[in-house]
Chains A and B, each alone.
Chain A
């Protein structure tokens, strides 16, 4: 890698474009160590730089990217994007209103220089800690330890000059006994030092069911959902409900429901990019500063999120709320990536379970997908720790169950929330590393629909 800083590279690239354009530079350095059966299995170190040139012509956008940083490659990308945007005008004027102008972004504490060093010995020690904790319980450990550092720089013809540096660290441990019974725990943070891998592994080990697994018949159950399960549901609601493009097109789960009660009064959900424990971001993919945005307040749906493109589709007074996932927007639309669900008064999952005569405790959800998007109806499995709640206590382990239920219905049926919020992440950083997570507590809801 050259010593050129990402913003310098972005500005050099912008200088090679003509007309309305944005150049985005993403420099990723990351380390992932996987393990299974208490042995290392894969270890991946990535050092990449990507330059994307977005050109705008007559309301049309086109992008071209390259991993090379020499002038020849940048000129080629710029020419390709400009030609594609120009050719797109063949269909008449486009709807993109133009690149947003500069606006000051607030600083955040989302970067840790020690984590950014990506010392492989840190990964080695993390794995040893996980293996030892699992062995103490006579169990095998499976999981990953990962850390990443991502620098993003944007330079645009509209005057944006923005740069952001973030780090993230993630550890996940599944402890498993000889019978295949498993328990799960994870932790995510800006600083790798804030993750106690031994503690994560011990938590996973404690969740491994002891004794035979019972069965649960299909039906509706009062449920206590751990934070990991709540986070997954809220991430889907981000796509299905708060997505400004889906909303503007009448496909969204909150279409016709803004300003109305969609959840229990105790539910307060926001997108809060600088909230404690979140993975902060200074700006979105178009350089629009991130700012807190209430989404559901006291159970009432307030608004959806926009990028520049979806705001144009929505029309009226809609403007970008700083949620572009790509310059010029994406086909799937914008989503909030710093969801925060405010906690309640219950001390822990045991206190949440106390009023339940017979119900379920769910540690984690798996392979969740929408069934009907407009209804925010999801299906998926429970995994790595499903228990019966009997007479107010979390008692016997049961086999994993399939649920098919609506996220908004579950939020409407929410009776209580835990006091302790956690940053939960699935750690699935597909493609370029863009670590996200949801800060949320566990909760208790009625009528969790188990259908197999």
Chain B
């Protein structure tokens, strides 16, 4: 296939200023167990070629499931026709690359999830799901797992010719309880699909879903009659998973360079950060250190090369609270006057073109010890964990989150369970209020499966690492 792609971009020579071709085979399997029964097994393989060309300053992209030489050639012709049909765009260069991407990269795994028998997977999920049932107030119980494998071959007119293989696996459990008009949900190890990582079946087994099921069910039921989360300003300790989503929404998206340059204004939105702010803007307190790292082991944003052939790298976005970098591809980097792309061009399968995406954007650990240490040091406040609801404005400034669970903090210990917790804030003041971050041992990496962006829509998998952290004077109980 790589030969076909290399020949295809060679055929584009003289007809456009740049061409790239990607062949992608995406394999997935999702298994869901509900109410003591196997509810659904979905498996699939998609395969196709996406061709992107740049004629003058205009892009054209065409995708096809016809992976023959003729099909690929037809896609190239459609991409060229598309670029030429558009109104003129001033020609602009792309950021340079250090060396053409060549070779092969694959993500590590111990047990190929596609080599595990379905019976073994079902046994694990059925056991976990059974542990959620028993209380009549539990109205829905679910255990699920997801396995994916993506094989990519890429060639570009800049001389790139690489292949890479990525395997990911994970899952989780959820219980919904209802009584007296109240509906509550608890999830483990996280909401929105559980914990998925770039790994094999060993990742799911390491989650020990069955061992956590009784606690998850008990908490879902207990939430039905728990006192409501109080309203007002307080000291807020966020658990690692909720903080990961907070990083995603209020830092990761805000630092996508295409948004900063208004390229996403029609859909995803813009950013409160300006291109001139790089290097000077105070984003948060001195405890705020954020990195974008496409080499993080297990991260869903980890790869050998991005979808423009730029090698994976790690770079700081915020250091001691000051903005130091942004997430970029070759086009946005050049437009902002940067010498090199940040290596953040990623595409959702063969039928979508690469756009600026997060890789693994993480909050670096601090020195506040464990969560218990942080709670003990906090005295009075509220601890929230596991996302339930999220919303942020189109400049990534004003946000509101709700979590599945909260506990009051009294006398340096976790106290009563609280239901329907929520909090709200404004990005820079919120991060400025962060005065303690837990230590490396409390740092966890969380996969996020549903990051939406782009038109036509693209869903990207990314990861965020974070330890628990503390924020002062946060408005809670807002919903």
Contacts and interface: CB of A to CB of B under 8 A. Distances in A.
Given A62-B40, A433-B456, A91 B391 contact: no
A193 interface: no
B87 A124 contact: yes
A88 B38 contact: yes
A329 B39 CA distance: 10
B86 interface: yes
A107 to B, nearest CB: 28
A32 to B, nearest CB: 5
B43 A80 contact: yes
A314 interface: no
Contacts of A152: none
A144 B176 CA distance: 39
B178 A250 contact: yes
A374 B181 contact: yes
A379 B81 contact: no
A400 B66 CA distance: 46
Interface in B5-55: 32-34, 36-48
Contact of A172 (B183, B266, B352, B393): B266
B58 interface: yes
A66 B41 CA distance: 15
Interface in B72-130: 75, 78-79, 81-83, 85-87, 89-90, 118-119, 122, 126
Given A40-B87, A379-B389, A381-B391, A68 B65 contact: yes
B62 A45 contact: yes
A400 B395 CA distance: 11
B82 A43 contact: yes
Given A68-B47, A374-B181, A367 B393 contact: yes
Contacts of B264: 36
Interface in B347-395: 351-353, 355, 388-394
Interface string A91-112: 1111100000000000000000
Contact of A367 (B89, B266, B394): B394
A331 B40 contact: yes
B324 to A, nearest CB: 25
Contact of B182 (A33, A42, A172, A374): A374
B391 A32 contact: no
Contact of A81 (B43, B64, B452): B43
B65 A374 contact: no
B456 A176 contact: no
B60 interface: yes
A85 B139 CA distance: 25
B156 to A, nearest CB: 17
A331 B32 contact: yes
Given A36-B263, A43-B86, A65 B353 contact: no
Interface string A425-452: 0011111010000000000000000011
A142 B266 contact: yes
Contacts of A32: 455-456
Given A46-B63, A121-B85, A374-B182, A91 B126 contact: yes
Nearest to A404: B479
Given A366-B393, A452-B398, A43 B40 contact: no
B43 A63 contact: yes
A67 interface: yes
B140 interface: yes
- Interface magnitude class on chain A: 35 or more
Interface stretch (A47-55, A159-167, A349-357): A47-55
Given A35-B266, A41-B59, A44-B353, A67 B83 contact: no
Contacts of B63: 44-48
B200 to A, nearest CB: 20
Interface string B332-355: 000000000000000000011101
A206 interface: no
A263 B398 CA distance: 31
A43 B84 CA distance: 10
B422 interface: yes
A42 B61 contact: yes
A367 B78 contact: no
A429 B86 contact: no
Nearest to A430: B457
Contacts of B85: 120-121, 123-124
A331 to B, nearest CB: 6
Contact of B39 (A143, A331, A377): A331
Given A91-B37, A371-B479, A430-B459, A65 B78 contact: no
A21 B45 CA distance: 19
A67 B65 contact: yes
A428 B455 CA distance: 7
What are the 9 A-B residue pairs with the smallest beta carbon separation, nearest first?
A65-B44, A88-B38, A120-B85, A374-B183, A430-B457, A84-B41, A62-B41, A40-B86, A142-B266
30 contacts: A31-B82, A34-B266, A37-B262, A40-B59, A44-B61, A44-B62, A44-B353, A45-B60, A45-B63, A47-B66, A65-B46, A81-B43, A88-B38, A88-B41, A95-B37, A120-B82, A124-B87, A127-B87, A174-B266, A249-B176, A250-B178, A251-B139, A366-B269, A367-B391, A367-B393, A367-B394, A379-B391, A404-B478, A429-B457, A430-B459
